[in-house]
Amino acid sequence: MLQVQDLVKRFGEMTAVDHESFTIKPGEIMGLIGQNGAGKTTTFRMILNFIRPDAGQILWNGQPLTKADYNQVGYLPEERGLYPKMQVEDQIIYFARLRGMKTADVKAQIDTWFDRFQVKGKRTDKVKDLSKGNQQKVQLIATLIHMPKLVILDEPFSGLDPVNASLLQDGIQMLRDNGSAIIYSSHDMGNVEAISDHLLMLRAGEVVLNGQVDTIRESFGRTKLFIESGLTQAQLAGFPGVLSIKPHGHSFELTLQDEAAGQAIFQAATANGYIPEFNQQPPTLDEIFRMKVGEQRG
């Protein structure tokens, strides 16, 4: 279990991370989100001991991380780095041996990992001869092949098409099912919502949201209403508490001031019986992110 307690990091007069706290349990995935400069990468670098915090502590299973603990960490930096003239197999073996694996064990697993991420290329290819996407897959394999207990991924979905992003999601979930504690950053709220158990949002170094994804969404109320009925757009817009309305074919998407506003709309829409759709949902993570960023601007 990773525990980050009251972490602070300053660079001169700028506070990059301001009293940040969170816990990631084994078998849990935490999505770390925030604008550029919010403190995400600084957080990762402090966990990895690349830089030291000015205050607070970082614990692994209740104790400061040791050199042996770091051998059980898998880290994918935002700025990818592979040796372009080295063969793929040698590249993976090199990084795996740094984490304590034996060469024979690595060689025995490479084909399985190639299949898992659908790498287009041979073990004997030089890294520079692979496509950019396949180079990224090789670095992911080098990051994960030792089955780390703690996985830190900085923007792992960056540059991946939807098919490869899905393969990466499967790989992350496989590690979670094997008991790894996983933290990753992403600007894609869809990915965060799809695979994260836990969410932490930073804004200018401060934690502004921290909790289970569903709990956070529900805390904003079911203010998104999707409706298909006999009511016209003008009629729907006239109900108290309707902030905006968008047509979608035969249906409408309404943003409500408060979820209670949906009750009157439901009663009116169903006055004559069955309607095809009435669905109230909390805001998406993308909408919540925009709300919190907008608070900063205000």
**pLDDT (tens digit, 9 = 90+) per residue, 41-64?**
999 999 999 999 999 999 999 999
Q: Given this model, what pLDDT does residue 296 score? A: 55
Give the pLDDT band (50/70/90) at residue 147. Answer: very high
Say if CB 260 and CB 241 are below 8 A apart. Answer: yes
Distance CA 186, CA 12 (A): 27
Range 134-150 average pLDDT: 91
221-281, what's its fold? Alpha-Beta Plaits (3.30.70)
Q: Is the dihedral of CA 78, 117, 106, 125 positive or negative?
A: negative
- Domain 2-218 and domain 221-281 have a common topology: no
Average pLDDT, the chain: 91
Choosing among 3.40.50.300, 3.10.20.440, 3.20.20.70, 3.40.50.970, the CATH entry for 2-218 is 3.40.50.300
pTM of the model: 0.84
Q: Given this model, what pLDDT does residue 297 score? A: 47
Give the pLDDT band (50/70/90) at residue 161. Answer: confident
Give the pLDDT band (50/70/90) at residue 246. Answer: very high
Domain ranges of the chain: 2-218, 221-281
